[in-house]
Amino acid sequence: MASLSLTRSKDVLLDVTVAFDPVGSPLDNLLPEALTHLKRWKTLTLQVRCKDSEGIYHRNIGGDSVFKICQTFGAVEAPSLESLTVLNFSDFALLEENGSFSKWNTPNLRYLNTMLIPLSLQCLSSLTRLDFTVMMDQFSYNNFFKSVSQMKNIQDLALKFKTSRRGGQMATQVFEKVELYAHRVWVEVAIGSQLTTSSLRSFFLPL
């Protein structure tokens, strides 16, 4: 049915959603068919979900799931892709390792919604909007600021501060600040977040 629908839609741009488990294995069999229409992708949503509803939050999952997800896609040539969203419903930290997105070519990407910045993505400098969920107990300031330094054309920046359901502690980190100029900035702090005023101030230089 999916194959027939994609064929009939011909050159219509596509909104694609693909779900994976916390170790990077696809949770459905639609990806191979979607990959044959890469040049038609307009938006892509990557979801990381747990197969089990109970107990899985205590398993020890490595931080290479993003690399395994990208391996599943292979080399991505998506000239029409404008929006990339990475959603983590597994409650495990997602880490980008081994240049996960280094084989992705998305020259028209303008919007990124994520809780990790894909540093190896080649088009960070072309982004105009960033929606970033900061998981404070899984957060690396240095990686964030390193990625921010590549974003020269950001116009809209939205930051949402949260802590995971596992309730980890925020580690003390030493970092160098960088400057990012945006036309509009939104800040949201989730109820129950461990974020303190001093932590929030660390993201912003005084005017």
Dist. CA 169–CA 66, nearest whole Å: 23
pLDDT tens per residue across span 91-147? 666 666 667 888 899 999 999 998 777 778 888 889 999 998 876 665 666 667 777
What is the pLDDT averaged over residues 156-175? Answer: 64
Dist. CA 107–CA 95, nearest whole Å: 23
Look at residue 63 and tell me whether its pLDDT is greater than 90.
no
User: What predicted TM-score, i.e. pTM, was given to this entire model?
Assistant: 0.79
Dist. CA 19–CA 23, nearest whole Å: 12
Dist. CA 112–CA 73, nearest whole Å: 18
Identify whether the C-beta of residue 126 lies closer than 8 Å to the C-beta of residue 153.
yes
Highest mean pLDDT among 53-62, 65-74, 76-85: 76-85
pLDDT tens per residue across span 123-134? 888 999 999 887
